[in-house]
Amino acid sequence: MAEFLQNIVGIVDPYTMQVIVNIGIAIPLALGLNIITGLTGQLSLGHAAFMSIGAFISAICTIRLGFPFALTLVTSGLVTAAIGAMIGFPILRLSGDYLAICTLGFAEIVKVIFLNLDITNKALGLSVPAPKSFLPMPIYVWGIAILSIVFVAFLQSSRFGRALKAIREDEIAAEAMGINLARYKVQSFAIGAFLAGVGGGLYAHFLGYINPSDFGFLKSVDILSMVVLGGLGSIPGTVIGAAVLTAAPEFLRFMSEYRMLVYGALLVSLMVFRPNGLLGGVNFTGLLLKAIGRNINESIPRDKGRRDL
Amino acid sequence: MFLQQLINGIALGSTYALIALGYTMVYGIITLINFAHGEIFMVGAFVGLLLVSFFKLNIFVAMVLSMCFCMVLGVVIELIAYRRLRRSSRLSALISAIGVSIFLSSLALMVFGADAKGFPEGAFPLHQLHIGNADISTLQLTIIGVAALLMLGLEFIVQKTKIGKAMRATSEDYAAAALMGINVNRVISFTFALGSALAAAGGVLVGLLYNAVSFNMGLMAGLKAFAAAVLGGIGSIPGAMLGGVLLGVTEIFGVAIGYSSYRDAIAFAILVLVLLFKPTGLLGQKIQKKV
């Protein structure tokens, strides 16, 4: 079985495979932020901090404790979620841009602390051994990516997800409807952090080397761009955003030194011409059903996403 | 010792304050966190450096020219990257700002290379003054003086001139200001020009202070200045000045008592702590929740 899977993975050339795996790693990360920013409407500029916590916890689990890979991922997700909830309690009292700058500050603090701890090997970073699992890494990563897509899809249409959307649309109205703002916000923060922790664990084990400086502000911005580019609050949008933004620097590699220049210009022009994201305001269920020949556009209300976050 | 560190802190803090003013003014008017602002600061430093080392200009002339250049740059950025996004989601404008920031810093990397450049020797007449037991350089005094002068100038423009009045009106209520016949687009362009000029001045001063100008100097300086703006209460001009100086002083004292490896975290730790107890910053106005 394992050999068979290994053979499947072997068909694709290693470079392409690496890009594909990187997309798979970006999906849980972006979906986690999508819950916090897209669904609940709380702008977070420090998502890389959760990724970094997950990456280091998982690396330490593997190196020091010798956990099997699956257990490592679950541990890193849970610890990250706990930390997310812990910092969520005080800072979610803030609103809007004050919250954003607080998450940014939290991320910088986490980075500096990891740069000074012995267990994270300070500024040298950690080398992470290959994961102990019989599945090949690409299949593992994509399995988790698909799991997280399914999880977030269920979450989004559940009672919980509707409460989060209500908070995004209007906090005061939601509170008047009996939604406990603080509890739901902290929970959405914790779930987002859990996904980021798992993503960080995957990242650490796939790359084999992690350094606290890799999880700076620019990483948070990367993840946020995936969510916004695809269309806030939309799962297919987030997945496509993750795919496009992970692959874009690779496709732009032929321009070598102009690469980041073009990437920056691309971000600006995408936003100027598609301000709601590539797929913002597109109704996927409707499109899908139309494709199979049923027109039920009227029965499903369009989820336009909030405009003034 | 105390006096020495205090002067060091105020000098560093006034450069933060200069950058923070740009953030706070732009935020006050169009509620956009202009993440490209840190890169304008970097461009300002590079333009100043070029003028001094290639055209052999006096440092103050170079600073004024660099401010003019960045004024134009700021206005052009607003025109290209933000104006069309004014009516769409604020996050889109934020991502657009981040795109501009990536663009500018990678442009600087391509043009000037990865290593830090210093100002040529003698660009600034450096002397040490002894006051009590503190060594204070003329450079530090110049930084504090120039920053104070610029802030006074800004205060004059905002409080006493017609366009300043229009700025205040627009930040109070965008729609009402437009209805009263204020050309809102012109006010916004003017705000970007003012903020960018201050950032450019800050860039030249920081370049002199550390004698290093590099393509990535905008990122951390921008983040800290933004933190300073929020600390003081975003949208408030005196708040940005206070926040900047406060962050600069705490950072220098933190380093002085031996936390130098935590240097970059100090500013943010202070920020998070202050926000927890005073959620709208030190001088920020209380936002009334309206139903």
Contact at CB, A264 and B104, closer than 8 angstroms: yes
Put simply, whether B178 touches A (Cβ < 8 Å) is: no
- Please report the pLDDT score of residue A306 as a whole number: 44
Contact at CB, A105 and B227, closer than 8 angstroms: yes
**Percentage of residues of chain B with pLDDT beyond 70:** 98
Put simply, whether B175 touches A (Cβ < 8 Å) is: no
Interface test with A, best of B95, B219, B280 (most A CBs within 10 A): B95
Smallest CA–CA distance, residue B276 to chain A, in Å, is: 7
Asked if residue B62 has pLDDT above 50, the reply is yes
Asked if residue B109 has pLDDT above 50, the reply is yes
Nearest to A264 among B99, B271, B279 (CB): B99
**Percentage of residues of chain B with pLDDT beyond 90:** 45
Put simply, whether B91 touches A (Cβ < 8 Å) is: yes
Whether A243 is in a domain gets the answer: no
Contact at CB, B98 and A267, closer than 8 angstroms: yes
A27: its two tokens: 């999906």
Phi and psi, residue B58, nearest 5°: -60, 145
Interface test with A, best of B87, B268, B289, B290 (most A CBs within 10 A): B268
How far apart are alpha carbons B223 and B233 in whole angstroms?
A: 15
Put simply, whether B261 touches A (Cβ < 8 Å) is: yes
Whether A289 is in a domain gets the answer: no
- Please report the pLDDT score of residue A262 as a whole number: 83
Residue of B nearest to A307 (CA): B89
Largest CA distance in chain A: 61
- Whether the pTM exceeds 0.90: the reply is no
Whether A95 is in a domain gets the answer: yes
Dihedral sign, Cα of residue A89, residue A94, residue A95, residue A98: negative
Residue B272 pairs in a beta bridge with none
Give the helix ranges, DSSP H, for chain B.
2-30, 37-54, 59-77, 90-112, 138-160, 162-172, 174-179, 184-210, 217-232, 237-256, 263-277
Contact at CB, A275 and B269, closer than 8 angstroms: no
Chain B residues whose CB is inside 8 A of the A104 CB are 223, 226-227, 268
Whether A115 is in a domain gets the answer: yes
Place of tokens 């362009």: B189
Nearest to B275 among A37, A98, A218 (CB): A98
Dihedral of the alpha carbons of A152, A154, A157, A158, in degrees to the nearest 10: -110
Contact of B165 with B182, CB cutoff 8 Å: no
- Please report the pLDDT score of residue A295 as a whole number: 52
pLDDT tens, position by position, B177-214: 999 999 999 999 999 999 999 999 999 999 998 889 99
User: Between B237 and A289, whose confidence is greater?
Assistant: B237
Asked if residue B75 has pLDDT above 60, the reply is yes
Contact at CB, A116 and B261, closer than 8 angstroms: yes
- Please report the pLDDT score of residue A307 as a whole number: 46
How far apart are alpha carbons B24 and B28 in whole angstroms?
A: 6
Residue of B nearest to A101 (CA): B227
- Look at residues B126, B81, B134 and name the one whose alpha carbon lies nearest to residue B103: B81
Smallest CA–CA distance, residue B242 to chain A, in Å, is: 17
Contact at CB, A266 and B289, closer than 8 angstroms: no
Put simply, whether B113 touches A (Cβ < 8 Å) is: no
Q: pLDDT confidence of B77, banded at 50, 70, 90? A: very high
pLDDT tens, position by position, B110-158: 999 888 988 888 778 778 888 777 788 888 899 999 999 998 999 899 9
Smallest CA–CA distance, residue B145 to chain A, in Å, is: 30
Chain A residues whose CB is inside 8 A of the B103 CB are 260-261, 264-265, 268
How far apart are alpha carbons A112 and A109 in whole angstroms?
A: 5
Nearest to B102 among A115, A264, A305 (CB): A264
Smallest CA–CA distance, residue A220 to chain B, in Å, is: 11
Write out the residue range of the structural domain in which residue A26 sits: 2-216
Contact at CB, A268 and B103, closer than 8 angstroms: yes
Nearest to A264 among B106, B262, B287 (CB): B106
Asked if residue B50 has pLDDT above 50, the reply is yes
Interface test with B, best of A109, A215, A276 (most B CBs within 10 A): A109
| ipTM of the complex, rounded to two decimals | 0.81
Put simply, whether A105 touches B (Cβ < 8 Å) is: yes
How far apart are alpha carbons A36 and A72 in whole angstroms?
A: 24
- Look at residues A301, A72, A101, A88 and name the one whose alpha carbon lies nearest to residue A186: A88
How far apart are alpha carbons B88 and B95 in whole angstroms?
A: 12
Chain A residues whose CB is inside 8 A of the B275 CB are 91, 94, 98, 101-102
Smallest CA–CA distance, residue B106 to chain A, in Å, is: 6
Nearest to A271 among B85, B104, B234 (CB): B85
Here the contacts of A269-275 (C-beta below 8 Å, separation 24 or greater) are A270/A229, A271/A228, A271/A229, A271/B81, A271/B85, A271/B92, A271/B93, A271/B95, A271/B96, A271/B99, A272/B80, A272/B81, A272/B84, A272/B85, A272/B96, A275/B84, A275/B85, A275/B88, A275/B89, A275/B92
Average pLDDT over residues B60-85: 94
Q: Specify burial of residue A296 (Cβ count, 10 A radius: 0-12, 13-18, 19+).
A: exposed
- Please report the pLDDT score of residue A120 as a whole number: 84
Whether A221 is in a domain gets the answer: no
Whether A72 is in a domain gets the answer: yes
Whether A140 is in a domain gets the answer: yes
Whether A192 is in a domain gets the answer: yes
Contact at CB, B223 and A108, closer than 8 angstroms: yes
Using 70 as the pLDDT threshold, list the residues of chain A that sit under it. 1-2, 256, 280-285, 293-309
Q: Domain count of chain A? A: 1
How far apart are alpha carbons B107 and B59 in whole angstroms?
A: 24
Nearest to A106 among B102, B272, B291 (CB): B272
